[in-house]
A and B are shown apart, each in its own frame.
Chain A
Amino acid sequence: MKKPSIRHLTSCTILAGSILLASTPATAAGVIAGTLIENTASASYTTGNTPKTIESNKVTIKIGEVLDVAVASLDSGAVAISDSNVLAFSVTNTGNGPEAFTLTADPAIAGNDFDAAVTSLAIDTNDNGIYDAGVDTLVINGGASASIDADATLKVFVLVSSPSGTGDGQSSQVKLIAAATTGTGTPGTTFPGAGTDGSDAVVGSSGATDFAQGKLVASVATVALVKSATVVDPFGGSQAVPGATIRYEIVATVSGSGSIGSLTITDAIPASTTYQAGTLKLGSTALTDAADSDAGSASEKGISVDTGTVAAGESRTVEFAVKVN
C-alpha cells in the first residue's frame, strides 16, 4: 500500500546480474510489490571491420501486490473466563506488499453454549504476547490495523466478557477475521492501481481474508448454603421449649470452578430467641462477638462471618447458639 521500495535492475551492466541476484527484494510470496522489472537487450556487430554495439529500448513491468493473509489462534487451549478475559491471535501478511487489514471479532458462532461480548480489540503494541492494558493500542471491533509489512505478523487481542447466567464448563468460540483493506474477493480479483506504489492489487489464494477461532470455557463458581439446628432442652430432650438452646450450623459449599472471594455468611437471630454470647465459630475457630480483627461479629440482631476466598470444592462452616425465650 505504501513505501517506495523500487529496485531497478542495471541490465546494461554485465557484471551486475550475478551481484544483484543475491539482493532481490523478495518475500515468501515472491518479489515485493511495486518492484520494477526492467529488461534491456544489447547487440554487438561489425560492419566492414568496425565493431559496434546498440541497445534496445527498456521495457518495464511493475510487480503487482498480491493480497493474502493468514490468521491463527495463539492460545494453547480453551481460555477460562469468569468475568472477562483475552483471546490472542496472529495476523500474518502472506502477500508481497505492505497492507493494512480490517479486524473483526465475531462472538456468535453456531454451536456456542454462550456468546461472549467483545469489549474491544487490541494490537500487541509491545509485541510481548500478553495484553497490557494501557500499553497495547485498542482498536474498535471492525477497525483496521496499521500497515503490516509482507511476511510480518501482528498479534491481535480480542477482549471478551462473559454474559450473566453462564454455567460452569460451558464453552464458546470467538472468530477473528482479517480482511485486506485494499479489497477482498475470489482469487484473481484485481484492483487496478490500488496496490503498493500504485501497482495493481490482485487477490491471492486466501481471497485476501482469513479467520481463526479462539475457545473460551466458562469458569463459574456457585455457593450453596445448608443450615441445620440442634435443640437441647432443659429437660435433657430436644424440644424447642423456652429455655432450650438451639445450635445453628451453616455450611457454605462452593462448587463449579474458580473461587468466590469475600464469601460472607450472615444470619439473623430468630424472633423469640436470644443470641448466646461467645458461641460464634468459623470451623473449629472461636470468634469474638465484637466487630474486630477476626472474621466474625455477632449481636442480638444477627451474625456475620467473612470466610474469605473459597475455592471450588471447598466449604466453610459457621456455628452459633441461641436460647429460646
Chain B
Amino acid sequence: MVKHLLLALSCAIATLFQLHSAQAAGKVALTGDVKVVRMVEQGGAEKETLSEPTKVVPGDKLVFTTRYSNDTGEEVDDFVITNPIPEQVTLTEEGDFTVSVDGGKSFGQLAALSTKASDGTVGAATLNDVTHIRWVLPKLKPGATGSVRFSAVIR
C-alpha cells in the first residue's frame, strides 16, 4: 500500500519536473499577425498606417508579419520560414524572400521563374502567380528574435 503511494507520488513529481524543464529550455516559436493598410490623414497629409483588420474588402492591402524567437538556449541552424500565400490575396511586391510559383516545390527570384498557362504557353511569372514565399536564415543564436513580413492585396 505504502509502496504504491510512493510510486504514484514519484510519478507525479517526475511529470512536474518534465514540464518545468521543458519550460526552462524554451522553444523556437513563430507568431503571426495581420494588419490592414489605411490612409489616415495626419497634419493635412494622407499617411499609410497599419490598422486592425476590420472592414476589410477586396482591394485592401494587408501586411502579414511573422515574428520568430529562439528561446531554446541552443543555436538553431538552417532556419527556413515558409508562408503559403492565401489564395484570396496577391503579393504586392518582392522583398527579402524568395518566391515559388509552383505550389512551393521550387523557390527563386520572381524574374527567374516562369509559369505554364493552361494552353501550354510558357510566360514570365508575375506577382499574381506567387503561391509561397520563403525566408532563409542560416543561424538563430540563442535568444535571437526578429520578424519577417510581406504585403498583399485582396483579390
- Assuming the contacts A37-B86, A45-B80, asked whether A63 and B58 have C-beta atoms less than 8 A apart, the reply is yes
* CB contact between B87 and one of A9, A41, A62 (< 8 Å): that residue: A9
Q: Is the CB of B103 within 8 A of A43?
A: no
Confirm or deny: B47 has a beta carbon within 8 angstroms of a beta carbon on chain A.
no
Give the complex CA separation of A7 and B105 in angstroms.
24
Query: Within 8 Å of chain A (Cβ to Cβ): is B66?
Result: yes
When the two chains form their complex, are residues A54 and B72 in contact, meaning their CB atoms are under 8 A apart? no
Q: How large is the interface on B (under 10, 10 to 19, 20 to 34, 35 or more residues)?
A: 35 or more
B56 within 8 A of A: yes
Docked complex: A19-49 residues within 8 A CB-CB of B: 19-21, 23-24, 26, 29-31, 33, 35, 37-48
The 4 closest A-B CB pairs, nearest first, are A30-B58, A56-B30, A18-B103, A17-B131
Q: Which of A15, A56, A64 gathers the greatest number of chain B CB atoms within 10 Å?
A: A56
Contact A54 B103 (CB under 8 A): no
B104 A190 Cβ-Cβ under 8 A: no
Q: Roughly how many angstroms separate A63 CA and B132 CA in the complex, as a whole number?
A: 21
Q: How large is the interface on A (under 10, 10 to 19, 20 to 34, 35 or more residues)?
A: 35 or more
If the complex has contacts A37-B86, A200-B55, are A46 and B131 also in contact, measured as CB distance less than 8 A? no
B140 within 8 A of A: yes
Residues of B within 8 A of A (CB): 27-34, 36, 53-59, 62, 64, 66, 68, 72, 74-89, 102-105, 131-132, 140, 154-155
Interface contact B58-A31, CB-CB below 8 Å: yes
User: How many angstroms between the C-alpha atoms of A12 and B33 in the bound complex?
Assistant: 16
Task: Tell me the bound Cα distance from A9 to B88 in angstroms.
Answer: 9
Q: Who on chain B is nearest to A13 by CB?
A: B84
- Assembled-state Cα–Cα distance A64/B81 (Å): 29
B87 and A66 contacting across the interface, CB-CB below 8 Å: no
Q: Which of A59-94 contact B (CB under 8 A)?
A: 59, 61-66
Q: How far is the CB of A53 from chain B (nearest CB, A)?
A: 9
B76: chain A residues within 8 A (beta carbon): 45-47
Which residue in chain A gives the minimum CB-CB distance to B101? A18
Q: A253 on the interface (CB 8 Å rule)?
A: no
Specify which of A9, A37, A52, A64 lies most central, judged by the most chain B CB atoms within 10 Å of its CB.
A37
What's the Cα separation between A200 and B64 when bound, in Å? 20
Distance of A37 Cα from B90 Cα, bound (Å): 12
Q: State whether A66 and B57 are in contact (beta carbons under 8 Å apart), knowing that A45-B78, A47-B77, A56-B66 are contacts in the complex.
A: yes
- Give the contacting residue for A31; candidates B30, B74, B131, B155; CB below 8 A: B155
Query: Among the interface residues B31, B34, B57, B82, which one has the most CB atoms of the partner chain A within 10 A?
Result: B57
Apart from A14-B132, A30-B154, what are 5 other A-B pairs with CB-CB below 8 Å? A14-B103, A39-B86, A57-B32, A63-B58, A63-B154
Q: Tell me the minimal C-beta distance from A21 to chain B in angstroms.
A: 5
A14→B84 contact, CB < 8 A: yes
Question: Taking A46-B77, A61-B53 as contacts, is the C-beta distance between A41 and B103 under 8 angstroms?
Answer: no
Q: Are A52 and B28 in contact (CB under 8 A)?
A: yes
Q: Which of A17, A30, A200 contacts B85 (CB 8 A)?
A: A17
Q: Pick from A46, A190, A192 the residue with the most CB of B within 10 Å.
A: A46
Residues in A with CB closer than 8 Å to B29 are: 54
**Given the known A-B contacts A11-B84, A41-B81, A61-B34, are A18 and B131 also in contact in the complex, defined by CB atoms under 8 Å?**
yes
A54 touches B30 (CB 8 A): yes
Residue in A19, A47, A56 whose CB lies within 8 Å of B31: A56
Q: Among B58, B64, B102, B140, point to the contact of A39 (Cβ < 8 A).
A: B64
Q: Does any Cβ of B come within 8 Å of A292's Cβ?
A: no
Which of B57, B77, B84 is A96 in contact with, Cβ under 8 Å? B57
13 contacts between A and B (CB under 8 A): A14-B103, A24-B88, A40-B32, A40-B84, A41-B30, A41-B66, A43-B68, A44-B78, A47-B77, A52-B28, A59-B32, A200-B56, A204-B57
Judge if A58 is at the interface, Cβ distance under 8 Å. Answer: yes
Question: B131 to A57, Cβ gap below 8 A?
Answer: no
Q: Which of B27, B34, B58, B132 has the most CB of A within 10 A?
A: B58
Known: A17-B104, A42-B81, A44-B78. A59 touches B64 (CB 8 A): yes
Q: How far is the CA of A261 from the CA of B93 in the complex (A)?
A: 73
